[in-house]
Amino acid sequence: MFQTQLSTKHLLGINYIHQDDIDLIFKTATEFKEVINRPIKKVPSLRDITIANVFFENSTRTRISFELAERRLSADVVNFAASSSSVSKGETLLDTVNNILAMKVDMVVMRHPAPGAHHFLAKHIDASIINAGDGTHEHPTQALLDAYSIQEKIGTVKGKNIVIVGDILHSRVALSNIYCLKKMGANVMVCGPSTLIPKHIKSLGVEVSYNLREALQWCDVANVLRIQLERQDVNFIPSQREYIKFFGINRQLLESLGKEIVIMHPGPINRGVELASDVADSASSIILQQVENGVAIRMAVLYLLAGRRSN
């Protein structure tokens, strides 16, 4: 018997869902991908649902991607940015969200700088909550769209070697990706300066490498992350120039590997830092496919959570 509904009411993180949930989301996303490539890119599934996008942290692409996904499912959408809200007047998170829900909102898509903010909310409110990033903790829809894009490009995730390069310490994308790829049976390695690799990362079942060439030689897919300068309260790397020298990926390095690897990046790219321009725009890069798949994955998550029977 196929699984037809998600095992959870909220999408708080990949750590809290099962492999079967991931399969169901991917299967549904494939159908939505067909929908968003039609001349009329809209279906009426969520026409009686109202969704609040609550962003306590800046975001352009994730918010646009969620908003497009919501609108293509015909949901009503309200956007809420913390900078323009009463949060700056001292309101608590719970009060803010309860005020939004009092206006009969069914689902909340939230980004918040505090890890676990979504768990706290899930305990106190009835609406479905989707995590669009909580601090350095998880960013589940990004991990789902990354794994989906890998599966689409090379057929399967299971048994493939996937390296995540860059600032692993501050990256919620890295953590969600590790959970997701491990659940799907991939071999995962992280690679970056030792100061940006968490001390106990091996307990998640991943390999660690401090040598970019070795890591690329090993992998089928490289998911390259941005150095998050805004999260660095102390200097983790001596200089950007040194980072580029040791961990920047350029065409020359890729050609010297003697094999094809798939290049991914969750965006925004710092061209010339973690990825050289000619790599980001090359045929082996699936960066723009990731963005397209992001809308389909988010449509699938919203659709499946809205359709779940509450009992």
Binding site for another protein (CB under 8 A): 2, 4-5, 24, 27-28, 30-32, 34-35, 38-40, 42-45, 73, 303-304, 306-309
Minimum CB–partner distance for residue 306 and another protein (Å): 7
Minimum CB–partner distance for residue 285 and another protein (Å): 28
Tell me whether residue 5 or residue 19 sits nearer to another protein (CB atom): 5
Helix axes 287-306, 61-72, angle to 10 degrees: 50
Minimum CB–partner distance for residue 76 and another protein (Å): 15
Minimum CB–partner distance for residue 16 and another protein (Å): 20
Minimum CB–partner distance for residue 299 and another protein (Å): 9
C-alpha 226: how far from chain center: 13
Tell me whether residue 87 or residue 306 sits nearer to another protein (CB atom): 306
Torsion of CA 159, 273, 202, 16, to 10 degrees: -70
Minimum CB–partner distance for residue 40 and another protein (Å): 4
C-alpha 222: how far from chain center: 15
Tell me whether residue 45 or residue 96 sits nearer to another protein (CB atom): 45
Tell me whether residue 82 or residue 145 sits nearer to another protein (CB atom): 145
Give the Cα separation of 3 and 180 in Å (integer). Answer: 18
Under a CB-based contact definition with an 8 Å cutoff, are residues 245 and 286 in contact? Answer: no
Tell me whether residue 244 or residue 306 sits nearer to another protein (CB atom): 306
Tell me whether residue 43 or residue 208 sits nearer to another protein (CB atom): 43
